[in-house]
Structure 1
C-alpha cells in the first residue's frame, strides 16, 4: 500500500510540473520553492511519509547528495564552451578561489567571535556554506556553450569549481578537530588536499574527458561504430572521472567538472558545425538511418554528440533537483528555529558574499550591475548539504553537528526562497540593461 501511495504522489507531482512548468517560468518563483513546500508536506511536519533524519540517515543522504552534485558539476562543464585561453576564465577562477577563501575567512571569524565556536568547528561551518550551488542556479547559468556573458559565465564557472575547492577547507576544519590527518606542520594537507587535490583532479578529469570524447568521435566518423547510448557515455564518464580521481587521492568533484569541460571542448576541435546548427529534432528523429548519418558525419558528429549528452544531462538535472529539494523540505522538521537561523543567512547573503566578491574581483573591469548580480546570486544548496553530511559521517560530535545542521538548512532554505523569488525578474532587468548598453 505504501508503494502505491508513493506512486500516486510522485506521478501527480511529475505531471503537475509538466503542465505548469512554463507558467512557473513567468512567475517570480522557482520550481525549487515548490519542491521545498511539497517535501515539507511529505515529511514529519505533514504526512510523515518522508523521514530523512540528517543524523540517523547521514550515510545514505551523503551518497544521494554526492551523486546529485556530480551530475550537476558535469553538466556545468558541458555548458562552458569558452576556450581555456580566453581571458573570461579569470572571472570564475577568482570567484572560486579568491572570493571563496575570503568567504571562508570571514565566516570563520563570525563563527569564533559571534557564535563562540571552536576554530575547527568555525572553519568547518564556513567551508560548508562557502561554495555556491550548480544544481539550483540554472536560470543564472550560461544558456549556450559559447555564451560569454560575464554574470552567467562567472556564476556557472564558480559553481563548477568551488565545490571542489571547498574540500580543502573541509579537511582543514576536520584536521583541527582531530578527525582528519593533516601531517606534521600541515604538510599532508597542503600537498595532498590542496595542491594535488586541485591540480590532480583537473588533470585527471580533463584527460579522461578529452580521450573519451576523441575515441567516440573517431569510432563514429571513421568506422561508423559506437553510435547511440549517449546517456551511457555521460554517466560512464562521470563515474570514470570520479572513481579515478578518488583512487588517486584528488578531488573527484573537480575531475567530473573538468571531464565535462574537456568533452565539450572536443566538439569544437573535431566538428566544423556548432551544436546550435544541428536541428534540435535530429537527436530524437524516428528515422534511425538519418540519426546515424548525422551522428557519423565528420561535419556534425561532435555537435550531435554534445547535443545528445546535454539534453540527457538537462533532464537528469531536473530529476536531481526534484529529489534533493524534496529531501531538504522534509529535513526542515528536524531543525529548531532560533535567532541565529535568521540573522546568520542574512549576514552571509547581504554582507559577506558581496564583500568577498568585491575583494576577489578587485582590478577587473566589470559593470556595476554585473558585480551586484554576482554578489547577490551566491546561491547555496546541494553542495552545502553534501559537505554537512560528509562532516557528520567523519565523526563530528552531536552538539556541533546539530548547530551546523540548523545553520546550513536555514541558509539553504533562505537561498531557495529569496534567490528563487528574485532570480527571474532580476535576470530580465539585467537582460534589458545589457541590450540598452549593446553588450
Structure 2
C-alpha cells in the first residue's frame, strides 16, 4: 500500500476495499490462513474497535471549522438525533417483522447499524484543518456525534432483552442513559478541551515550554474517556467535543493575540495578508500537532480491523437475511431518515441526497456489537447479530467504496458550475 499509494489514488475504489479483499483471500473464504472468531475473541475486538473509534473521533473533532456556529451545526445535530432515532426505529421494525428477531434484539440491531462511521468514511469527510466544504463537514460532524448518540438505543435494546436496567416505563433509561449520559459527556469534553488549550497556550507563550502534542492529544483522549466512564457518561461524545473545544479555543486564543479573527486554520492565516508579519509562522497548537500522528494511527488501525473482518467471513455468511437488511438500510432507512430529519431546513437537496446515500457503516457498529456480547448477549442471538452486522459492514465497504469517488467528483464539478457566474 505504501509503495503504490499514488497509483491507488487514481483507482475508482477506496483502500478499504483492497484491505477487505486481502482479508477475504487469506480468510476462511479462500485460503483459510486466517480465521478470526468475533464471538470467541469479542473482548479483544471490543477493545480494538473502541480505541480506533476514539482516535478517529478526536481527528474528526479537530477538523471542525472555527468559529462554532449553531446555525451551521443544526444539520449534523438533526442527523445525529432525529435521523438516528428514525433509522433505529425503521431497522428495528424490519428486524422484528421481516427477520423474525425479538423486539429488543431488533432495537439493538438498529442501534448497531444506524450510526455512520468516522473511521471508514474518510473519503467523504473533512480532509484537513479549516476544510469548509458543507457536505464533508455535515458527514464528519454527524459521524462524530452519532457514535455517542447511538449508545442510548444500544442500552434500550439491551434493556428490552433483560440485560440492562431501564426502570419502570423506561424512566431510568430516559433520565440516565439519554439525558445524564449525553449532557455530562458533552460538558466533560468541552471543559477538558478548553482547559488543555488554555494550559498549552499559557505554557508556550509565557513560559516558552516545548510540548509533545502527540502525547497531549492521546492524554486528552484517555483522561476524557476515563472521566466519562467514572460518571457513566458517553465517552465517545466526550472525546469528540473535547477535540472540538480544543481546536476552537486554540484558534480563538491565536486570533485574539497576533491574528485576525478568522475561521481558517492557523497555517492558512499565517500565509495571508491577515498576518502582520508574513515571515512569522503560525504558533504551534496541540490540535494541529497531534492530528498527523492520530491520522497515521487511524490508517494502521483501519488496515488491521478490515483484514480481521475479511478473516471472519465464510461462504455461508452470505444469507438473504443479511443482504436484505443491508439493502433496506442503504436504500430505505438511511435516505428516508435523512429526508425526514432535515425536513424544514434550508439544506440543499443535492446535499440531502448525498448525505442520504453516504451513511457508511463500519468499526463503530462492530464496537457496539462486541459491547453487547460482553454484557451478556445470549450466544445464539449473538451469532445471528454477528452475521447480520458483518455483512452490512462488508457491503457498506464495497458499495460505498465503489460509488464514493465518482459521485463526489460529480458533486464537486456540479458545485463548481453552480458557483461560476
Instruction: Kindly state the Cα deviation for residue 372 of structure 1 after the two structures are TM-superposed.
Output: 0.9
Return the match for 1:32 from 11, 16, 20: 16
Q: Is the 8 A contact 1:35 1:325 kept in 2?
A: yes
1:148 counterpart SS class: coil
Which residue in 1 is equivalent to 2:169? 185
SS in 1 for 2:186: helix
Aligned twin of 1:392: 373
Among 138, 142, 149, which residue is 1:158 paired with? 142
Q: Give the length in aligned residue pairs.
A: 404
Match of 1:374 among 355, 374, 384: 355
Matched, 1:44 2:28: yes
Match of 1:145 among 125, 129, 139: 129
1:300 equivalent to 2:282? Answer yes
1:276 paired with 2:267, answer yes
Paired with 1:334 and 1:77, the residues of 2 have a C-alpha distance of: 39
Aligned pairs for 1:120-135 (under 5 A) are: 120-135=104-119
Instruction: Calculate the aligned-residue CA RMSD, in Å.
Output: 1.8
Aligned to 2:324: 343
Is the counterpart of residue 173 in structure 1 residue 157 in structure 2?
Answer: yes
Q: Give the corresponding residue for 1:231.
A: 214
Report SS of the residue matched to 1:80: coil
Report the Cα offset of residue 305 of structure 1: 3.5
- Offset at residue 48 of structure 1 (A): 4.2
Aligned residues of 2:270 and 2:282 also touching (Cα < 8 A) = no
Runs of 4+ in 1 over 4 A off after TM superposition: 46-49
Task: Indicate the larger mover: 252-261 or 304-313.
Answer: 304-313
* In 1: Cα distance, 2:254 partner to 2:286 partner: 10
- Cα pair 1:335 1:406 within 8 Å, conserved: no
Which of 106, 109, 127 aligns to 2:90? It is 106
Q: Which residue of 1 aligns with 2:418?
A: 437
Return the offset for 1:144. 3.6
Aligned counterparts of 2:35 and 2:194: Cα–Cα separation in 1: 42
Q: Residues 66 and 251 of structure 2 are in contact (CA less than 8 Å); yes or no, is this contact kept in structure 1?
A: no
Does residue 329 of the first structure (1) align with residue 320 of the second (2)? no
Matched with 2:274 is none
Give how far 1:205 is off: 0.9
SS class of match (1:223): coil
SS at match of 1:92: helix
Deviation at 1:19, TM superposition (A): 1.6
Residue 184 of structure 1 deviates from its aligned partner by 2.8
- Which whole-Å CA distance do the structure 1 matches of 2:126 and 2:98 have between them? 37
Q: 1:160 to 1:312 in 2, by over 3 A?
A: same
In the TM superposition, residue 399 of structure 1 has moved relative to its aligned partner by 1.8
Distance, in Å, in 1 between the alignment partners of 2:78 and 2:372 is: 26
- Using the TM superposition, give the Cα deviation of residue 91 of structure 1 relative to its aligned residue in structure 2, in angstroms: 0.7
Determine if contact 2:214/2:286 at 8 Å carries over to the other structure: no
- SS of match in other structure, 1:52: coil
- Distance in 2 between the 1:342 and 1:249 partners? 36
How far apart are the structure 2 equivalents of 1:327 and 1:380? Answer: 16
- Structure 1 residue 262 corresponds to structure 2 residue 253: no
In the alignment, which residue of structure 1 is the partner of 2:275? Answer: none
Question: Is 2:223 aligned against 1:240?
Answer: yes
Q: Name the structure with the higher helix share.
A: 1
Partner SS state of residue 271, structure 1: helix
| Alignment check: 8 A CA contact 2:213 2:290 kept | yes
Structure 1 gap segments, 5+ residues each: 1-16, 281-296
